[in-house]
Amino acid sequence: MSKKIKTAFVCDQCGADYPRWGGQCTSCGEWNTIKEVRLGSASTERSSRSGYAGSRSEVKLLSDVNLSQAERISTGISEFDRVLGGGIVRGSVVLIGGAPGAGKSTLLLQAIANIADRNVTVLYVSGEESLQQIAERAHRLKLPAAKMMMLMETSVQRICDVLDEIKPQILVIDSIQVMHTQDTDSAPGSVSQVRESASYLTQYAKKHHVSIFMVGHVTKDQSLAGPMTLSHIVDTQVMLGSTDDARFRVLRADKNRFGSVGELGFFAMDSSGLKEVKNPSAMFLNRPDKPSSGSVITVLWEGTRPLLVEIQALVTDCQYGNPRRLAVGFDQNRLAMLLAVLSRHGGIVTATDEIYANVVGGIKVTETSSDLAIVVGVVSSLRDKVIAHDTFFFGEIGLSGEIRPVANGHARLNDAAKHGFKKAVIPKANVPKKPIEGLEIHGVSTLSEALDFLAEM
Protein backbone atom coordinates (compact mmCIF):
# COMPACT_ATOMS: atom_id res chain seq x y z
CA MET A 1 0.00 0.00 0.00
CA SER A 2 1.48 3.32 -1.05
CA LYS A 3 2.06 5.97 1.58
CA LYS A 4 0.05 9.16 1.34
CA ILE A 5 2.31 12.18 0.86
CA LYS A 6 1.18 15.37 2.55
CA THR A 7 2.20 18.79 1.29
CA ALA A 8 1.58 22.34 2.49
CA PHE A 9 2.11 25.83 1.14
CA VAL A 10 4.15 27.82 3.66
CA CYS A 11 5.71 31.29 3.62
CA ASP A 12 9.50 31.13 4.03
CA GLN A 13 9.59 34.49 5.83
CA CYS A 14 6.85 34.28 8.49
CA GLY A 15 5.68 30.64 8.43
CA ALA A 16 2.05 31.34 7.48
CA ASP A 17 0.19 28.33 6.02
CA TYR A 18 -2.04 28.50 2.93
CA PRO A 19 -4.31 25.95 1.23
CA ARG A 20 -2.85 26.80 -2.19
CA TRP A 21 0.01 28.75 -3.75
CA GLY A 22 -0.18 32.54 -3.98
CA GLY A 23 2.14 35.27 -5.22
CA GLN A 24 2.06 37.40 -2.05
CA CYS A 25 1.93 36.38 1.58
CA THR A 26 -1.00 38.22 3.16
CA SER A 27 0.56 37.82 6.63
CA CYS A 28 3.95 39.52 6.14
CA GLY A 29 3.37 41.17 2.74
CA GLU A 30 6.40 39.57 1.02
CA TRP A 31 6.22 38.41 -2.61
CA ASN A 32 7.22 35.00 -4.00
CA THR A 33 7.91 33.51 -0.57
CA ILE A 34 5.14 30.87 -0.52
CA LYS A 35 6.67 27.46 -1.20
CA GLU A 36 5.22 23.98 -1.42
CA VAL A 37 6.81 21.75 1.20
CA ARG A 38 6.51 18.03 1.71
CA LEU A 39 5.50 16.92 5.17
CA GLY A 40 6.05 13.60 6.88
CA SER A 41 4.00 10.64 5.64
CA ALA A 42 0.83 9.60 7.40
CA SER A 43 2.46 6.47 8.79
CA THR A 44 5.31 8.54 10.21
CA GLU A 45 2.86 10.92 11.88
CA ARG A 46 0.91 8.05 13.39
CA SER A 47 4.07 6.57 14.87
CA SER A 48 5.17 9.94 16.23
CA ARG A 49 1.84 10.39 17.98
CA SER A 50 2.27 7.13 19.83
CA GLY A 51 5.66 8.19 21.23
CA TYR A 52 9.34 8.19 20.29
CA ALA A 53 10.58 5.18 18.31
CA GLY A 54 7.07 3.78 18.01
CA SER A 55 6.65 2.99 21.73
CA ARG A 56 3.24 3.47 23.29
CA SER A 57 2.66 5.88 26.16
CA GLU A 58 1.01 4.66 29.33
CA VAL A 59 -2.00 6.17 31.08
CA LYS A 60 -1.23 7.20 34.68
CA LEU A 61 -3.08 8.76 37.56
CA LEU A 62 -1.87 12.25 38.38
CA SER A 63 -1.20 11.20 41.96
CA ASP A 64 1.16 8.47 40.72
CA VAL A 65 3.43 10.83 38.79
CA ASN A 66 6.98 10.88 40.15
CA LEU A 67 7.66 14.44 41.30
CA SER A 68 11.41 13.83 41.51
CA GLN A 69 11.53 14.46 37.76
CA ALA A 70 10.71 18.13 38.46
CA GLU A 71 13.99 18.68 40.34
CA ARG A 72 16.05 21.53 38.91
CA ILE A 73 19.69 21.61 37.86
CA SER A 74 21.55 24.84 38.56
CA THR A 75 23.56 26.33 35.70
CA GLY A 76 25.99 27.96 38.12
CA ILE A 77 24.91 31.37 36.73
CA SER A 78 22.38 32.90 39.11
CA GLU A 79 20.97 35.39 36.58
CA PHE A 80 20.40 32.56 34.09
CA ASP A 81 18.76 30.43 36.78
CA ARG A 82 16.51 33.35 37.72
CA VAL A 83 15.18 33.70 34.17
CA LEU A 84 14.61 29.93 33.91
CA GLY A 85 12.60 30.00 37.14
CA GLY A 86 15.23 28.61 39.51
CA GLY A 87 17.26 26.30 37.29
CA ILE A 88 16.83 23.68 34.56
CA VAL A 89 13.82 21.39 34.89
CA ARG A 90 14.52 17.81 33.84
CA GLY A 91 12.88 17.01 30.53
CA SER A 92 12.23 20.65 29.68
CA VAL A 93 12.93 22.29 26.31
CA VAL A 94 14.30 25.84 26.34
CA LEU A 95 14.54 27.99 23.21
CA ILE A 96 17.03 30.86 23.43
CA GLY A 97 17.01 33.44 20.66
CA GLY A 98 18.88 36.64 19.92
CA ALA A 99 20.61 38.68 17.26
CA PRO A 100 23.96 37.51 15.85
CA GLY A 101 26.74 38.32 18.29
CA ALA A 102 24.41 38.73 21.28
CA GLY A 103 26.19 35.92 23.13
CA LYS A 104 23.77 32.98 22.94
CA SER A 105 26.43 30.34 22.29
CA THR A 106 28.79 31.93 24.81
CA LEU A 107 26.16 31.89 27.56
CA LEU A 108 25.24 28.26 26.91
CA LEU A 109 28.88 27.21 26.70
CA GLN A 110 29.58 28.82 30.07
CA ALA A 111 26.49 27.22 31.60
CA ILE A 112 27.14 23.65 30.43
CA ALA A 113 30.83 23.96 31.39
CA ASN A 114 29.71 24.70 34.95
CA ILE A 115 27.21 21.85 34.86
CA ALA A 116 29.67 19.32 33.42
CA ASP A 117 32.23 20.26 36.05
CA ARG A 118 29.74 18.98 38.66
CA ASN A 119 29.75 15.51 37.02
CA VAL A 120 26.47 16.04 35.15
CA THR A 121 26.53 14.47 31.68
CA VAL A 122 26.13 17.11 28.98
CA LEU A 123 26.33 17.07 25.18
CA TYR A 124 26.86 20.13 22.98
CA VAL A 125 25.71 19.56 19.38
CA SER A 126 26.96 22.14 16.89
CA GLY A 127 25.60 22.41 13.39
CA GLU A 128 27.16 25.77 12.50
CA GLU A 129 30.61 26.04 14.09
CA SER A 130 33.39 23.51 13.93
CA LEU A 131 34.56 21.81 17.10
CA GLN A 132 37.88 23.66 16.80
CA GLN A 133 36.08 27.02 16.92
CA ILE A 134 34.16 26.01 20.02
CA ALA A 135 37.33 24.68 21.66
CA GLU A 136 39.10 27.98 20.97
CA ARG A 137 36.22 29.92 22.55
CA ALA A 138 36.23 27.67 25.61
CA HIS A 139 40.01 28.15 25.93
CA ARG A 140 39.67 31.93 25.60
CA LEU A 141 36.96 31.98 28.28
CA LYS A 142 39.09 29.68 30.49
CA LEU A 143 36.27 27.17 30.91
CA PRO A 144 36.77 23.65 32.31
CA ALA A 145 36.52 21.51 29.18
CA ALA A 146 37.65 18.09 30.45
CA LYS A 147 34.11 16.75 30.94
CA MET A 148 32.27 18.49 28.08
CA MET A 149 31.17 16.18 25.27
CA MET A 150 30.89 17.70 21.79
CA LEU A 151 29.24 16.52 18.58
CA MET A 152 29.08 18.06 15.12
CA GLU A 153 25.85 16.85 13.50
CA THR A 154 22.72 18.20 11.80
CA SER A 155 20.54 15.08 11.47
CA VAL A 156 18.00 14.84 14.28
CA GLN A 157 17.71 11.05 13.97
CA ARG A 158 21.47 10.54 14.25
CA ILE A 159 21.61 12.91 17.23
CA CYS A 160 18.95 10.84 19.02
CA ASP A 161 20.92 7.66 18.26
CA VAL A 162 23.93 9.22 19.98
CA LEU A 163 21.73 10.25 22.91
CA ASP A 164 20.59 6.64 23.30
CA GLU A 165 24.22 5.61 23.64
CA ILE A 166 25.64 8.20 26.07
CA LYS A 167 22.36 9.17 27.83
CA PRO A 168 23.18 12.81 28.74
CA GLN A 169 21.11 14.85 31.15
CA ILE A 170 21.61 18.16 29.28
CA LEU A 171 21.62 18.63 25.50
CA VAL A 172 22.43 21.83 23.59
CA ILE A 173 21.34 22.20 19.94
CA ASP A 174 23.16 25.03 18.17
CA SER A 175 21.08 25.83 16.26
CA ILE A 176 17.60 24.46 15.51
CA GLN A 177 17.53 26.26 12.12
CA VAL A 178 20.29 24.03 10.69
CA MET A 179 18.81 20.74 11.90
CA HIS A 180 16.84 18.45 9.60
CA THR A 181 14.80 15.27 9.77
CA GLN A 182 14.89 12.49 7.20
CA ASP A 183 11.07 12.40 7.01
CA THR A 184 10.71 15.92 5.59
CA ASP A 185 11.81 16.66 2.02
CA SER A 186 12.82 20.32 2.32
CA ALA A 187 15.98 22.27 2.94
CA PRO A 188 17.29 22.83 6.50
CA GLY A 189 15.99 26.09 7.89
CA SER A 190 12.66 25.87 6.11
CA VAL A 191 9.47 26.20 8.11
CA SER A 192 8.60 22.52 7.89
CA GLN A 193 12.11 21.35 8.83
CA VAL A 194 12.30 23.65 11.87
CA ARG A 195 8.87 22.55 13.03
CA GLU A 196 9.46 18.82 12.57
CA SER A 197 12.98 18.93 14.06
CA ALA A 198 11.83 20.79 17.14
CA SER A 199 8.85 18.46 17.57
CA TYR A 200 11.04 15.36 17.23
CA LEU A 201 13.55 16.58 19.82
CA THR A 202 10.79 17.69 22.19
CA GLN A 203 9.21 14.23 22.08
CA TYR A 204 12.57 12.69 22.89
CA ALA A 205 13.11 15.11 25.79
CA LYS A 206 9.75 14.29 27.37
CA LYS A 207 10.19 10.54 26.87
CA HIS A 208 13.74 10.29 28.24
CA HIS A 209 13.74 13.28 30.66
CA VAL A 210 16.59 15.04 28.85
CA SER A 211 16.77 18.82 29.23
CA ILE A 212 17.32 20.47 25.85
CA PHE A 213 18.52 23.98 24.98
CA MET A 214 17.81 25.07 21.41
CA VAL A 215 19.49 28.12 19.92
CA GLY A 216 17.18 30.03 17.57
CA HIS A 217 17.90 32.64 14.91
CA VAL A 218 15.99 35.90 14.62
CA THR A 219 14.61 37.77 11.63
CA LYS A 220 15.27 41.36 10.65
CA ASP A 221 12.48 42.55 12.99
CA GLN A 222 14.12 40.71 15.93
CA SER A 223 11.46 37.99 16.13
CA LEU A 224 12.30 34.29 16.18
CA ALA A 225 12.79 32.78 12.74
CA GLY A 226 10.62 29.82 11.80
CA PRO A 227 6.99 28.92 12.38
CA MET A 228 4.97 30.32 15.25
CA THR A 229 4.35 26.75 16.39
CA LEU A 230 8.00 26.66 17.49
CA SER A 231 7.12 28.89 20.44
CA HIS A 232 4.21 26.63 21.34
CA ILE A 233 6.28 23.44 21.19
CA VAL A 234 8.97 24.50 23.68
CA ASP A 235 8.46 24.90 27.43
CA THR A 236 10.49 28.08 27.83
CA GLN A 237 11.42 30.82 25.37
CA VAL A 238 14.04 33.40 26.31
CA MET A 239 15.54 36.22 24.26
CA LEU A 240 19.04 37.64 24.69
CA GLY A 241 19.50 41.21 23.59
CA SER A 242 21.78 44.18 24.20
CA THR A 243 21.01 47.50 25.86
CA ASP A 244 21.90 50.90 24.42
CA ASP A 245 25.33 50.33 25.92
CA ALA A 246 26.71 47.41 23.88
CA ARG A 247 28.64 46.13 26.91
CA PHE A 248 25.48 44.86 28.62
CA ARG A 249 23.11 42.04 27.74
CA VAL A 250 19.54 41.46 28.93
CA LEU A 251 18.03 37.96 29.03
CA ARG A 252 14.21 38.01 29.12
CA ALA A 253 11.72 35.15 29.48
CA ASP A 254 8.88 35.54 26.99
CA LYS A 255 7.35 32.17 27.89
CA ASN A 256 8.01 29.92 30.86
CA ARG A 257 5.94 26.97 31.99
CA PHE A 258 8.12 26.58 35.09
CA GLY A 259 8.65 30.18 36.19
CA SER A 260 7.71 33.82 35.88
CA VAL A 261 7.14 35.36 32.44
CA GLY A 262 8.94 38.66 31.98
CA GLU A 263 11.81 37.78 34.31
CA LEU A 264 15.03 39.59 33.43
CA GLY A 265 18.67 38.58 33.79
CA PHE A 266 21.48 41.09 33.33
CA PHE A 267 25.00 40.42 32.08
CA ALA A 268 28.09 42.39 31.13
CA MET A 269 30.05 41.28 28.06
CA ASP A 270 33.84 41.43 28.22
CA SER A 271 36.82 39.47 26.94
CA SER A 272 36.18 36.68 29.46
CA GLY A 273 32.57 36.13 28.42
CA LEU A 274 29.29 37.08 30.03
CA LYS A 275 29.51 38.22 33.65
CA GLU A 276 26.50 38.56 35.93
CA VAL A 277 25.35 42.04 36.97
CA LYS A 278 24.35 41.66 40.61
CA ASN A 279 22.89 45.17 40.94
CA PRO A 280 21.11 45.99 37.66
CA SER A 281 19.47 49.12 39.07
CA ALA A 282 22.90 50.76 39.41
CA MET A 283 23.49 49.97 35.74
CA PHE A 284 20.47 52.07 34.69
CA LEU A 285 21.01 54.90 37.19
CA ASN A 286 24.24 56.22 35.74
CA ARG A 287 23.02 59.83 35.71
CA PRO A 288 25.03 63.06 35.28
CA ASP A 289 26.05 64.96 38.41
CA LYS A 290 24.02 67.98 37.39
CA PRO A 291 20.27 67.12 37.25
CA SER A 292 18.20 68.31 34.31
CA SER A 293 14.50 68.82 33.73
CA GLY A 294 12.46 65.97 32.29
CA SER A 295 14.47 63.25 34.09
CA VAL A 296 12.49 61.12 36.56
CA ILE A 297 13.27 57.87 38.41
CA THR A 298 10.66 55.12 38.74
CA VAL A 299 10.67 51.60 40.17
CA LEU A 300 9.49 48.83 37.85
CA TRP A 301 8.69 45.26 38.83
CA GLU A 302 10.35 42.85 36.43
CA GLY A 303 9.61 39.19 37.10
CA THR A 304 10.39 38.69 40.79
CA ARG A 305 12.44 41.79 41.64
CA PRO A 306 12.24 45.59 41.53
CA LEU A 307 14.26 47.59 39.02
CA LEU A 308 15.02 51.30 39.21
CA VAL A 309 15.16 53.02 35.82
CA GLU A 310 15.31 56.56 34.53
CA ILE A 311 12.57 57.96 32.31
CA GLN A 312 13.33 61.05 30.25
CA ALA A 313 10.80 63.36 28.64
CA LEU A 314 11.33 66.28 26.26
CA VAL A 315 8.65 68.84 25.41
CA THR A 316 9.47 71.27 22.62
CA ASP A 317 7.68 73.63 20.25
CA CYS A 318 6.12 72.07 17.19
CA GLN A 319 8.16 72.81 14.06
CA TYR A 320 5.59 71.51 11.59
CA GLY A 321 1.83 71.24 11.29
CA ASN A 322 1.26 68.04 13.32
CA PRO A 323 3.07 67.75 16.68
CA ARG A 324 4.87 64.44 17.14
CA ARG A 325 4.34 61.98 20.00
CA LEU A 326 7.25 59.53 20.21
CA ALA A 327 7.74 56.92 22.92
CA VAL A 328 10.77 54.63 23.13
CA GLY A 329 10.62 51.79 25.62
CA PHE A 330 6.88 51.76 26.29
CA ASP A 331 3.55 51.84 24.47
CA GLN A 332 3.11 54.97 22.39
CA ASN A 333 -0.68 54.73 22.66
CA ARG A 334 -0.40 54.85 26.45
CA LEU A 335 1.63 58.05 26.18
CA ALA A 336 -1.19 59.61 24.16
CA MET A 337 -3.72 58.48 26.78
CA LEU A 338 -1.67 59.92 29.65
CA LEU A 339 -1.36 63.26 27.84
CA ALA A 340 -5.16 63.33 27.45
CA VAL A 341 -5.61 62.66 31.18
CA LEU A 342 -3.04 65.38 31.96
CA SER A 343 -5.03 67.84 29.87
CA ARG A 344 -8.43 66.90 31.29
CA HIS A 345 -7.62 66.39 34.97
CA GLY A 346 -4.34 68.28 35.37
CA GLY A 347 -5.18 71.41 33.41
CA ILE A 348 -1.96 71.21 31.39
CA VAL A 349 -2.56 71.26 27.63
CA THR A 350 0.20 69.94 25.35
CA ALA A 351 -1.78 69.65 22.10
CA THR A 352 0.53 72.06 20.25
CA ASP A 353 3.84 70.69 21.61
CA GLU A 354 6.03 67.89 20.39
CA ILE A 355 6.66 65.31 23.12
CA TYR A 356 9.39 62.66 23.23
CA ALA A 357 9.69 60.08 26.00
CA ASN A 358 12.41 57.48 26.50
CA VAL A 359 13.25 54.71 28.96
CA VAL A 360 17.02 54.93 29.51
CA GLY A 361 19.07 51.78 28.97
CA GLY A 362 16.92 50.06 26.37
CA ILE A 363 14.48 48.51 28.88
CA LYS A 364 10.97 47.76 27.60
CA VAL A 365 8.31 48.82 30.12
CA THR A 366 5.39 46.39 30.07
CA GLU A 367 3.53 47.44 33.24
CA THR A 368 1.55 50.54 34.18
CA SER A 369 3.43 51.55 37.34
CA SER A 370 5.50 54.03 35.32
CA ASP A 371 2.46 56.19 34.43
CA LEU A 372 3.03 58.75 37.17
CA ALA A 373 6.74 59.06 36.37
CA ILE A 374 6.01 59.65 32.68
CA VAL A 375 3.51 62.42 33.40
CA VAL A 376 5.82 64.05 35.95
CA GLY A 377 8.65 63.93 33.40
CA VAL A 378 6.50 65.68 30.79
CA VAL A 379 5.47 68.40 33.25
CA SER A 380 9.07 68.77 34.44
CA SER A 381 10.31 69.34 30.90
CA LEU A 382 7.40 71.64 30.01
CA ARG A 383 7.97 73.88 33.05
CA ASP A 384 11.76 73.39 33.04
CA LYS A 385 11.58 72.20 36.64
CA VAL A 386 14.37 69.90 37.86
CA ILE A 387 13.45 66.83 39.92
CA ALA A 388 15.86 66.10 42.77
CA HIS A 389 18.15 63.10 42.29
CA ASP A 390 16.94 61.45 45.50
CA THR A 391 13.21 61.47 44.54
CA PHE A 392 11.31 58.80 42.67
CA PHE A 393 7.72 58.24 41.51
CA PHE A 394 5.52 55.27 40.70
CA GLY A 395 1.80 54.65 40.30
CA GLU A 396 -0.83 53.87 37.69
CA ILE A 397 -3.02 56.69 36.38
CA GLY A 398 -6.67 56.03 35.55
CA LEU A 399 -8.78 57.84 32.98
CA SER A 400 -10.56 59.81 35.70
CA GLY A 401 -7.25 61.12 37.03
CA GLU A 402 -6.98 58.80 40.04
CA ILE A 403 -3.64 57.33 41.10
CA ARG A 404 -4.11 53.58 41.44
CA PRO A 405 -1.95 51.32 43.60
CA VAL A 406 0.51 48.87 42.06
CA ALA A 407 1.66 45.41 43.11
CA ASN A 408 4.71 44.84 45.36
CA GLY A 409 4.77 48.45 46.50
CA HIS A 410 6.61 47.74 49.77
CA ALA A 411 9.39 45.83 47.99
CA ARG A 412 9.82 48.70 45.53
CA LEU A 413 10.18 51.20 48.37
CA ASN A 414 12.72 49.06 50.22
CA ASP A 415 14.86 48.63 47.10
CA ALA A 416 14.84 52.37 46.39
CA ALA A 417 15.81 53.12 50.00
CA LYS A 418 18.77 50.74 49.69
CA HIS A 419 19.99 52.75 46.69
CA GLY A 420 20.02 55.98 48.68
CA PHE A 421 16.72 57.59 47.64
CA LYS A 422 15.22 59.87 50.27
CA LYS A 423 11.78 60.88 48.95
CA ALA A 424 8.97 58.91 47.26
CA VAL A 425 5.70 60.01 45.64
CA ILE A 426 3.44 56.96 45.34
CA PRO A 427 -0.26 56.01 45.40
CA LYS A 428 -1.83 56.58 48.79
CA ALA A 429 -2.95 52.95 48.93
CA ASN A 430 0.72 51.85 48.66
CA VAL A 431 1.89 53.87 51.66
CA PRO A 432 3.18 51.33 54.22
CA LYS A 433 1.80 51.27 57.74
CA LYS A 434 5.28 51.34 59.24
CA PRO A 435 7.72 54.03 58.06
CA ILE A 436 10.84 53.03 56.16
CA GLU A 437 14.02 54.37 57.71
CA GLY A 438 15.57 57.19 55.70
CA LEU A 439 12.66 57.43 53.22
CA GLU A 440 10.09 60.24 53.21
CA ILE A 441 6.91 58.91 51.59
CA HIS A 442 4.16 61.10 50.13
CA GLY A 443 0.93 59.36 49.16
CA VAL A 444 -1.28 60.91 46.47
CA SER A 445 -4.71 59.78 45.33
CA THR A 446 -5.25 62.01 42.28
CA LEU A 447 -3.15 63.47 39.50
CA SER A 448 -3.85 67.02 40.72
CA GLU A 449 -2.37 66.16 44.14
CA ALA A 450 0.78 64.85 42.46
CA LEU A 451 1.10 68.02 40.36
CA ASP A 452 0.59 70.21 43.45
CA PHE A 453 3.39 68.33 45.23
CA LEU A 454 5.62 68.78 42.16
CA ALA A 455 4.97 72.54 42.20
CA GLU A 456 6.04 72.76 45.85
CA MET A 457 9.33 70.90 45.32
Task: Tell me the mean pLDDT in the region 234-253.
Answer: 87
Peptide bond preceding 175 in cis form (omega within 30 of 0): yes
> What was the pLDDT predicted at 41?
45
Percentage of residues of the chain with pLDDT beyond 90? 62
pLDDT tens column, 255-267: 999 988 888 999 9
Position 42 confidence tier, pLDDT thresholds 50, 70, 90: very low
The beta-strand segments (E) located in 108-247 are: 122-126, 149-152, 170-174, 211-216, 236-242
Position 53 confidence tier, pLDDT thresholds 50, 70, 90: very low
Q: Residue 387, Cα to own-chain centre: how many angstroms? A: 32
Q: Residue 298, Cα to own-chain centre: how many angstroms? A: 21
**Ordered structural domains, the chain, with CATH:** 69-278 (3.40.50.300), 283-456 (3.30.230.10)
The pTM for the full model equals: 0.78
Position 152 confidence tier, pLDDT thresholds 50, 70, 90: very high
Q: Print burial letters for 234-256: b (CB count within 10 Å at least 16), e (below 16).
A: bbbbbbbbbbeeeebbbbbbeeb
pLDDT tens column, 378-431: 999 999 999 999 999 999 999 999 999 999 999 999 999 999 999 999 999 999
Alpha helices in 315-370 (DSSP H): 332-346
pLDDT tens column, 158-179: 999 999 999 999 999 999 999 9
Please give the torsion angle defined by the CA atoms of residues 39, 41, 42 and 43, in that order, rounded to the nearest 10 degrees. -140
> What was the pLDDT predicted at 224?
82
Strand partners, 224: 218
pLDDT above 90 (res 37): no
Q: Which of 189, 455, 210, 265 is nearest to 346 (CA)?
A: 455
> What was the pLDDT predicted at 48?
43
> What was the pLDDT predicted at 189?
81
Ranked by mean pLDDT, the top range of 26-30, 57-61, 145-149 is 145-149
